[in-house]
Amino acid sequence: MKPYKSKINKIRSFALALIFIGFVVMYGGIFFKNSPILVLIFMTLGVLCIIGSTVVYAWIGLLSTRAVQVECPNCHKHTKVLGRVDMCMYCNEPLTLDPTLEGKEFDQAYNHKTKKS
């Protein structure tokens, strides 16, 4: 199982990957320079990936402004917490704002709403 990262950092990494994917797709159009329609398709898909990255960056920026900023008990740096549980952006210390979850083992499932029967 891969280590868990901070939600904000995970979304920012996805947006950065979209930029690189967009550039690779646009450069892929070079292989089809004899067919202008395929070049146009590759360029359009690449630009759409970059526009999607811009939207994701704007969304996570807005989300980040509403996140609660706390001081990590381990490294004593300020980090932002999204949801009930999250990790410190710097030292990957599990953090929670819910007093009922203190002392419990870290689990991402605490962030999902469950149906109450």
Least confident of 4-18, 32-46, 90-104: 90-104
Please state the φ and ψ torsions of residue 95, each to the nearest 5 degrees: -125, 145
pTM of the model: 0.74
- What CA–CA distance (Å, rounded) separates 90 from 28? 36
Angstrom distances, CA of residue 70 to CA of 15, 75, 81, 96: 25, 12, 7, 10
pLDDT at 116: 47
- What CA–CA distance (Å, rounded) separates 69 from 109? 21
pLDDT digits (tens, 9 = 90+) for 53-72: 999 999 999 988 888 888 88
Six token digits for residue 18: 């979209």
pLDDT digits (tens, 9 = 90+) for 15-30: 999 999 999 999 999 9
* Pairing mode of beta strands 68-71, 78-81: antiparallel
